[in-house]
Amino acid sequence: MAQVRYTQEHEWIRIDADVGTVGITDFAQQQLGDIVFVELPTVGSQVRAGAEAAVVESVKAASEVYAPASGEVVAVNEALAEEPAKVNADATGGGWFFKIRLADPGELEALMEPAAYKDYVAGLS
């Protein structure tokens, strides 16, 4: 079963072997409101844990999406260019942003497990 981890900036990463699929959490998409544009990284580019990797724009605001881990971008969700609202409809499924081949799987240890993220979000309200 795939392992999922979360950042304090509300990104998630689902690990399957040495590839992580990255997106924003349901909490983040709710805070942003209706998403109208997503800027994705280029396949083949390198991302660094904690650094900006993508941008999401809503009717309310624009927000950076940070890479939860370092690695090479191996895929992007091209469907978001035509239908950015997929992020609102299915933030942790079909609304994923990009996939990376992990450079250092040990970086995942610094991220929150699902129960810890749920507690973190509960503490924000």
The domain total for the chain is 1
* Percent of the chain scoring above 90 in pLDDT: 96
3-state secondary structure of 82: helix
Residue 82: CA count within 13 A, CB half-sphere = 3
Residue 70: CA count within 13 A, CB half-sphere = 7
The 10s digit of each residue's pLDDT in 69-120 is: 999 999 999 999 999 999 999 999 999 999 999 999 999 999 999 999 999 9
Asked, for residue 125, whether it belongs to a domain, the answer is: no
Asked, for residue 124, whether it belongs to a domain, the answer is: no
Q: Which residues contact 119 (CB under 8 A, 6 or more apart)?
A: none
Contact (Cβ atoms closer than 8 angstroms) between residue 56 and residue 30: no
pTM: 0.96
Structural domain range at position 9: 3-103+113-119
Asked, for residue 38, whether it belongs to a domain, the answer is: yes
Asked, for residue 86, whether it belongs to a domain, the answer is: yes
Nearest 10 degrees: CA dihedral of 105, 114, 28, 34? 110
Tokens of 95: 């609304």
Please state the rounded mean pLDDT for residues 33-41: 97
